[in-house]
Structure formats: C-alpha cells, structure tokens
Amino acid sequence: MAAEVLAEGGVQVDLFDAMPSPGRKFLLAGVGGMNITHSEPFDIFLSRYGARAETVKPLLEAFPPDALREWARGLGVETFVGSSGRVFLKDMKAAPLLRAWLHRLREAGVRFHVRHRWLGWREDGALRFAAPQRDSDPLRACVESYAPGGELAVKADAVVLALGGGSWAKLGSDGAWVPLLAQRGVDVAPLLPSNCGFDVAGGWSEHLKSRFAGQPLKTVALRFADAAGLTHERKGELMLSDSGIEGSLVYALSAPLRDTIAAQGAVTLQLDLAPDKTLARVIAEVAHPRGARSLSSHLQSRAGIRGVKMALLREILSPDRLNDPLKLANAIKSLPLTLAAPRPLDEAISSAGGVRFEVLDENLMLRKLPGVFCAGEMLDWEAPTGGYLLTACFAGGRAAGRGALNYLNTDE
C-alpha cells in the first residue's frame, strides 16, 4: 500500500522482501475464505482496536472499510457482506487480488527484489541486505556496494518498514527486526501472541485428546473477570485443541485472557454450554426423571448436551457433581475452566506489541530516524479476526506511504 501511494506520487520505489515472493501471509489469510474487512458501523468497528482505538482512528478515517472495498473493486475484485457482517472477496480467494495488485504496481514502475533480507543499517545510513545475487533489475541508482554471495548496501531517500509481527515465521514475520530497531534507540513493546489458543491448566486427559481434539463446541458462551475486575462475556463457537481451547470465540477475547494470565498466573473462565436456555429451564430439564436412560441420553434429549459438550462435562466434573441434578445443571450453565498460558507466538494468527506509536510522528515516521516510516503489524496495536487486522494494515500502509511522500516533497 505504501509503494502504491509513493509510485502514484511519481517516486521510484524498490520493494525488498525476504521471502521468494511477496504477500505470503496475505495469501494465508485467504485460506478458507478471504475476509478483508467488516461492514459494521464505524464507531463499533473502531472499538475493536481496544486500547489503541483512538491511535489508529486517523488511519482508518483516511481509509475506512468502504474505501478498501472500492480499492479492491478497482483491481477487478468484487466483495460481498456475509451473514455475520464480515466482508469477503467474491471468489473467496486472496491470490487473484494479489496477482492483479502486483501487476498494477509493476506497471506503475515498482521494482520487486525478493529473497533480500534486511539486516539493518551501515554506519553511513545505507540499508544492508543479505541477497543471493545481484538483481537483474536496474538497481545501480541506489546500490552503494555489492559483494557476491554477501551483502547489498542500498542508499534510499526514504524508507518504509513493513516487517510484520512475530507470528508465522515461516511466512516471513519472524520479529528479527526488533533488535535492529532497538539498537537505534527505538522503543519496541515485546511481541506477544494475539488471536491465539490457550493451554488448560494440567492439560486434557488422553481420552479427551484422542477422541475430541479438533472438534467444535458450537453455540457456547464464555465469561471471565480480568485482573482489573472487569467482566468479559461473549457467545460463539470454540474448539478443543490437544492442549486446551482455540477458535473464533477464544480469539475474540485473547487479549484480555492473555493479559490476565500475565497479571495473575492463570485465569478461570466459565463456559455456558446452553446459552440459549435459562438456568431455571436447565435445572428443570436435568432434574426430569430419566428412568432407565443413561445420563448421556438423558442430557441429549432434555438439554441438548451431546458429543464434545458431554465429554467436557465428564472431563471436568467429579462423579458426585455429575450425578447431582442441581450441581450438574449449574455446571452446564457455568463450567469452570482454568487457562494457564497462551499458545506460543509463532502459532498465533497475529501478534501484539511492536513499535510504540509514541516514538512515531503523525505521519508514522520514527522521530529518532528521520525519513524512516513504519507500518502494519510491526506497530503496537492488535485487533480480533474479522477483517480488522487487514483493514488497519492497508490503512497504515497508505498512511506511511503518504508520510514518506510528504517527507520527500518537503526535502526537495
């Protein structure tokens, strides 16, 4: 996005990517359906960015969700609003959009240099890259020096860093840039997992893991109090993993869950396995005489509890609670589950932390490094899945490109 703004402004842009091809994490985001943004009202949309909502507000106001949809249409890709309000690319794939986009950028004169890993700066300010061989593209105008099989040094009038967070290292976002900026005195908040799964304290039994890991818990509600005493509650779907829980419902609350665990060492949440029924109704259904039927058959017919939900009750409840109708009904409506830790950063969909906005000016330029701009997931913000991550990355890229363009024009 930054390259597009700069190229449209008449600037010669060279785009360096450590991977063999650009946009690999973007392509991964399109697996299973390309959710590019969300259709909800702007004030609700903005609230999804939590503590950083006011910080990212100017970026999103300059390039809101509707503008992103129009941008995609300009590349020949239509979008539609799903039943959840999420906005998807019409063909549900990221690849056609990326191909059209890269073609347009090349037509605009943007030069791509893949397999070039950024290594920081030389003492004279030149950018250092590990490169396999000299590009066939005409880099002579900006190449300071080149050692075959070694390093490429590049002089640039302005630099936009869009280096990603720390999740999915195999796609390029490995966080290797953190010490490079820290060495230059840039304040970087530690990278943390976001939109991630969590491990349950003590782990699951072998029986539950072998038979139910990977199965969804549909239509449940999750409730917990964070370290400040604020109650979080949300309804949706989650999934049992080998070590705990994951899925959209968990991802939506991953930030407060992660932060509460960091503050307290663990967090105990309550799962409502029958959120569409009142406690009184569940008590009545469970207490109904079951005759010769097994407990599983009884709960399935009377309370709609079956499969993985039944297995979870057996996993967590003692036999006396299972056989006490009142205690069992209360557990169905409020099953305690203690989470001990988030899953590792590299498994997360996205990451929190990164370059703090306080060290950037209003154009996303590093105050300590004039002419160097930052954009995307490497900045210190986070959001749940649902199109919010991509929208802010698109908007931030445009803002950084616009800032770099203004910097270059002012410098002239």
DSSP 83-105: TTSEEEETTS-SHHHHHHHHHHH
Report the C-alpha gap between 342 and 199 in whole angstroms. 6
- Contact present, 368 and 184 (Cβ < 8 Å): yes
User: Quick one: average pLDDT of 280-284?
Assistant: 94
- Contact present, 400 and 408 (Cβ < 8 Å): no
pLDDT band at 145 (very low <50, low <70, confident <90, very high): low
CB neighbourhood size of 404 (10 A): 29
User: Quick one: average pLDDT of 245-253?
Assistant: 94
Please give the pLDDT value at position 249: 94
Question: Tokens 């002012």 identify what position?
Answer: 410
Please give the pLDDT value at position 136: 47
Q: What is the pLDDT of residues 91-144, one digit of tens each?
A: 999 999 999 999 999 999 999 999 999 999 999 999 999 987 654 444 554 665
User: Quick one: average pLDDT of 32-55?
Assistant: 94
Please give the pLDDT value at position 168: 87
Rounded to the nearest 5°, which phi and psi values hold at 287?
A: -80, -10
Per-chain mean pLDDT for the chain = 93
Q: What is the pLDDT of residues 174-215, one digit of tens each?
A: 999 999 999 999 999 999 999 999 999 999 999 999 999 999
Extract the tokens encoding 344. Answer: 């590792």
Helix ranges (DSSP H) in 136-223: 178-182, 206-212
Please give the pLDDT value at position 322: 92
Q: What is the pLDDT of residues 221-241, one digit of tens each?
A: 999 999 999 999 999 999 999
Q: Which residues contact 245 (CB under 8 A, 6 or more apart)?
A: 197, 198, 200, 238, 239, 337, 339
Q: Which CATH topology does 2-115+157-193+348-411 take?
A: FAD/NAD(P)-binding domain (3.50.50)
Please give the pLDDT value at position 326: 94
Span(s) in the chain for CATH 3.50.50.60: 2-115+157-193+348-411
Residue 259 has pLDDT above 50, yes or no: yes
Parallel, antiparallel, or unpaired: how do β-strands 14-17 and 111-114 relate? parallel
Report the C-alpha gap between 45 and 360 in whole angstroms. 24
Q: What is the pLDDT of residues 310-363, one digit of tens each?
A: 999 999 999 999 999 999 999 999 999 999 999 999 999 999 999 999 999 999
From the list 365, 85, 61, 81, the residue with the least C-alpha distance to 53 is: 61
- Contact present, 150 and 404 (Cβ < 8 Å): no
CB neighbourhood size of 320 (10 A): 9
Extract the tokens encoding 93. Answer: 């794939």
Lowest mean pLDDT among 11-20, 147-156, 279-288: 147-156
- Classify each residue of 348-382 as buried b or exposed e, where b means 16 or more C-beta atoms within 10 Å of its C-beta: bbbbbbbbebebbeeebbbeebebbbbbbbbbbbb
Residue 254 has pLDDT above 90, yes or no: yes
Question: Which helix (H) or strand (E) covers residue 79, if one does?
Answer: strand 79-81
- Contact present, 382 and 251 (Cβ < 8 Å): no
Please give the pLDDT value at position 30: 74
